[in-house]
Structure 1
Amino acid sequence: MDKNLKEAFDGLIFDLDGTLWDSTVSVAKAWQAAKEEVGYVKTDVTPEMVAGIAGMTYDAIYDTLFPDLDSAKRKEFQALCAKKELEVLEEDGGILYPGLEETLRYLSSRYRLFVVSNCQSGYIEIFLTYSKLAHYFSGHACYGTKNQPKAENIKEVVAQYNLQSPVYIGDTMGDYESSKKAGVPFIFASYGFGDVKEGQIATIAQFTDLKELL
């Protein structure tokens, strides 16, 4: 690992799903409950299906998974899924990656930490409450707040908190592309849901690798 990175940054911006936790089981449970409540969605929702759309904006997910629904039904189903998702996550949460708190404790002593995700409003807040890790983070932003792309949310966090040399840490090609558009270097979390072949400044195989890298 590149020891030079230890002095390179003043802020770490994290993706959430596939980087800090895995909520696919809870999200699939919520969307399946929504599917059973309506009569027009025929496809069962599985954790594997949820993992496959990781990193997409909340609107794009439903366009991708339910292309046969007309726009009105898709919008209705999306709203019901969103409601049930927050309810289930509040109760069941997600799986925190091993060593998450000890690594965040170390990192927060050296950097300001942030979360930027393509999730709906309220999702990051539930993660922070469920994990009891809110005190390690200085701020967060998501797609649901302003319906703007992840790259714009990254740039907004950088500007709002006057970060001079931030880095984005995520697990999908979409995360890499967003960080590139935002002009921020990228660290690839290979244990997550996606694959990034090139362009990252470093790759971590587990979350705790960040203690060695940064």
Structure 2
Amino acid sequence: MGVSLKDTVIKPIHSEGPKFIGIFAIVSLILFMLWEPLGVIGLGLTIWCYYFFRDPVRTVPMGPNLVVSPADGLVSLIEPAVPPAELGLGDAPLMRVSVFMSVFNCHVNRAPVAGEVTVIGYRPGKFLSAELDKASEENERNGLVLTMDDGTKIGVVQIAGLVARRILCEVTEGAQLGRGDRFGIIRFGSRLDVYLPEGTAPKVSVGQTMISGETVLAVLDDPTPAIAREV
């Protein structure tokens, strides 16, 4: 069955979206009453707001030991880093993969693996550009630890950005998540960090486009890194 034009244009939206879309629409209406060109600009921003809060259905890959991207966007950093202290993952560096979400990406966040949410740690902070390396340490953040059935732990951290001023985590400690399940959203423009366990190498490269819940980020216990792509 082919994809209809309606399905291409009209997307499901996150529950956070309607109130913001409504505000944008009301402001646009007022702008139209004041001066039509301003109203056109407002209409464009309203459409952007609608697509910002889109929450499309994703096809989660099947197979053992797969780690999928928790966010749409571009891989901005791949490097060893000490996980945030509040996650309790130790003080030894783990391989960190950062996915930067622009204001045009879908911002619904999804679980990279199936497991129990054993830790949720929030820390207030700054609102530096999420593309900067120091944003992982200095920006407002909310981290989760997902513990798999075999005891393997994966850390995933929501990081606020220059424009983002609201991190929303929709799960609590003790929740059971499947791979690709939704767990939160950040508005507007931000970043997700994933901390892989020792002995696991990323299967992605810096600059690669990621699709939340679909792109395979790593295979657990596979130390073979991705082959660097030509730019």
Shorter chain as denominator, the TM-score bin is under 0.3
Provide TM-score, normalisation by structure 2.
Answer: 0.26
Provide TM-score, normalisation by structure 1.
Answer: 0.27
Q: Which has the higher strand share?
A: 2
Higher relative contact order (CA 8 A, sep 6+): 1
